Structure 1
Amino acid sequence: MINNIWILIGKKLSGEASSEELRELEELLQQVEDQYPLALLEDIWKKTNQTPADEKLENKWKAFETKLDVFDKIETEAEPAADITEPAKPKRGIIKFIKIISLVVAASMAVVFIVFRDKNIPDGDKTSEITAPQNGISKVQLPDGSKVWLNSGSKLVYAASYGTDVRKVSLTGEALFDVVKDAQHPFIVTTPTISIKVLGTKFNVRAYTNDRTSEASLLRGKIELTILKNPEKQIILKANDKLTINNEQPALNAAASSKNDINEDVPLIALSRIHQIKQDTLPSEALWIENKLAFDAEDFGSLAQKLERRYNVAISFKNEDLKKIRFTGRFQNESITKALKALQGTTYFHYKTNNNQILVY
């Protein structure tokens, strides 16, 4: 019931709730002993949404990128002056050669494609498995022409019978799907936490095994989403909807300080809108396929998991409270050191590195 309340509150505040959903919300709120302060939430919503959400996000990103530019300038000024007697051309030639080699290596790692074949397995049970490298992105075209982009360390599996009856794939990790429309053969994505059924659409799914949350973001079309822990409830997402699921399902804290307090530990199914900035070709939830890491008011704990996958490092925290710090910004070409320094420039924390181990304290 708590999950339904949060979904309906999100729809009401964004003005997207139908009359039936508004009645359902009112009935659910009457069943809760400590009712949520809906009038207060509406007032906060109106005040905080005077500026369009995308414009707010863009302003936050610009402020963060300005800090990155400052760090660039400091690093440039800190570099020792070049010896004017040293020939410049050979150095540029070496750098160019290294860049070319790096591109060749990156290209060779772009896709890892493993097809399992066993003579003892019936044809319909044979599977194809595609795994993205730990520091890269893989692009896959399925037998029906549907396209899939796999984020770092993600795995996609489908059977040889794909498309015979349904088009079913299994995903662990994160992927962007651009599905060819075929009403006769529904497309089904199964992850460790959610299942998604579509006919033809474009959507992003993040469902890494160890992540605290899973997320489905719909760019185009319509999808039916089932949370595997609550299979009796199906949720329909429309274009530009985003659903975030708390995988940990913590218990409701009965010791709330007052009726006006909403405990951030309440198990949430949060419905919101995807973030699309005008100059970007994709919403921030899918910018990873352009090798960009975008984050909006994301807690340090969740962001650390994304940094681990992006830079192939392990990040630990000395103090659990540090995981609650929130950041807004995005990275593209920054090293892990530069990324941490940029985050450090917005709030107070220290870190130390030992090879690929990073301790935040």
Structure 2
Amino acid sequence: MHTDEFKDLLEKYLDDRITPEERRRLTTALEDPACVQLLDETICEELAARAYEGEPDEGIRQLIQQRLDQEVRPVHTIRPRRYRWAAAAAILAIMAGAYLWSQRPVKHQAEPTLIADAAPGSNKAVLTLSDGTKVPLDSTGNQVIQQGSTAIHQQGGQLKYDAQGTTASVQYNVLTTPRGGQFRITLPDGTQVWLNAASTLRYPTAFTGPERLVEVAGEAYFEVTGNASQPFKVKMKDVEVEVLGTSFNVNAYADEPTIQTTLLKGSVKLSANNNHILLKPGQQATLAANKGFNVNEVDPNDAIAWKNGYFLFKNESIESVMRTIARWYDVEVSYVGDVKKQRLGGTVSRYEKLEDLLNTIELTKTLKFKIEGRRVIIMP
């Protein structure tokens, strides 16, 4: 393929302007070592330019390094322009996976067998008031919900409590997102919470006691308003997180084997099973059943990729990847044959159609998918 044509296809891919036919041509081109070399050079030029401008490039270098590991099976790339060259690096990894598998004996790769599709998730939730009243919420809503002297304002995919509103007695509300839903809420103290799919947040309509206590099941990202005289606490399963003012992500889904807390800024104290630890920014604490905390240095932005509109997988098992995808697209997953040992890595927009996402994984020639109704069947 001519250099200019290849670069044009690459630009269209990164800007999400590529047609299905052009995508097939780009995928075919990436099996050509000459095009791989050209992509390497293009990314290197971009890295050099960023270094000259003083911009960080370590994240991009790490993504490029993924192509050296044939066990990492990337999925796709994210759409936001600020990630364009990280996306280009992910394309390299996609090519690497496809090329490495092309060197092995493989079964005939049939055309994708998808026969249906599922839309990505959206802003939707149910607010359950203390008296049991259920209020459906979605992206189009614009209303004021009066609860005693407290006014709850909904504007699109966000709830906001009137910070001036008080109640004679504290009442507890519950915000629940379904599979395929997400929602944002500003609590009475100004703390902001982003709630991921299939998650629940229980909280008071006013913080009047010595502490601000909320409960989470599923996944949520917090930006806590500081108040040294009234610590903010989050309870989830067996873990309690205590903060004064900070930003952190918690993941405590019932179907996940561990509970994770990732700190972006500030400081948090974690307690579980008589164990207590302090986290610093850039650290992630993982708690498995009947075990203590395991703390690792991480890129904390990875943990809130979902909040920023994309999935991020780093050499994860296909089961872990599909649990995340299933919650967002509200589908069930089943496996045929010995496929659970496969691992995937890469990034993908949360707003891709499920068919496009799965077709991209199929390009690595490691897995095949079939959709029957709302069930995704994974095959070797």
TM range (shorter): 0.5 to 0.7
1:54 aligns with 2:85: no
Selected match of 2:131 from 80, 101, 117: 117
Matches within 5 A, 1:1-361: 54-59=59-64, 60=66, 62=87, 63-65=89-91, 109-117=123-131, 124=169, 126-160=171-205, 162-227=207-272, 230=273, 232-247=274-289, 269-275=293-299, 283-319=301-337, 322-332=339-349, 333-346=351-364, 348-361=366-379
The alpha-carbon deviation at position 53 of structure 1 amounts to 6.7
**What is the TM-score of this pair, normalised by structure 2?**
0.58
Q: Percent identity?
A: 26
Equivalent pair of 2:224/2:247 in contact (CA under 8 Å): yes
Change (3 A) 1:140 1:192: same
Superimposed CA distance per residue, residues 206-228 of structure 1 (whole angstroms, 9 cap, x where no aligned partner): 1111112221110001101123x
Q: Secondary structure at the match of 1:116?
A: coil
Q: Secondary structure at the match of 1:346?
A: coil
- Higher helix proportion, which one? 1
Superimposed CA distance per residue, residues 90-109 of structure 1 (whole angstroms, 9 cap, x where no aligned partner): xxxxxxxxxxxx9xx95xx5
- Higher strand proportion, which one? 2
CA distance in 1, matches of 2:60, 2:334: 33
Equivalent pair of 1:65/1:329 in contact (CA under 8 Å): no
Superimposed CA distance per residue, residues 144-167 of structure 1 (whole angstroms, 9 cap, x where no aligned partner): 101000011211001345342210
Q: How many residues align?
A: 247
The alpha-carbon deviation at position 235 of structure 1 amounts to 1.4
The alpha-carbon deviation at position 355 of structure 1 amounts to 0.8
- Provide the aligned C-alpha RMSD in A: 3.2
Q: Which residue of 2 aligns with 1:21?
A: none
Equivalent pair of 1:188/1:196 in contact (CA under 8 Å): yes
Higher relative contact order by CA 8 Å / sep ≥ 6: 1 or 2? 2
Which one-letter code corresponds to 2:369 in the other structure? Y
For structure 2, the 5+ residue unaligned runs are: 1-56, 67-85, 96-110, 112-118, 133-166
CA distance in 1, matches of 2:327, 2:202: 20
Q: Secondary structure at the match of 2:304?
A: helix
The alpha-carbon deviation at position 242 of structure 1 amounts to 0.9
CA distance in 1, matches of 2:61, 2:282: 17
The alpha-carbon deviation at position 269 of structure 1 amounts to 4.2
**What is the TM-score of this pair, normalised by structure 1?**
0.61
CA distance in 1, matches of 2:233, 2:294: 22
CA distance in 1, matches of 2:59, 2:224: 26
CA distance in 2, matches of 1:311, 1:67: 25
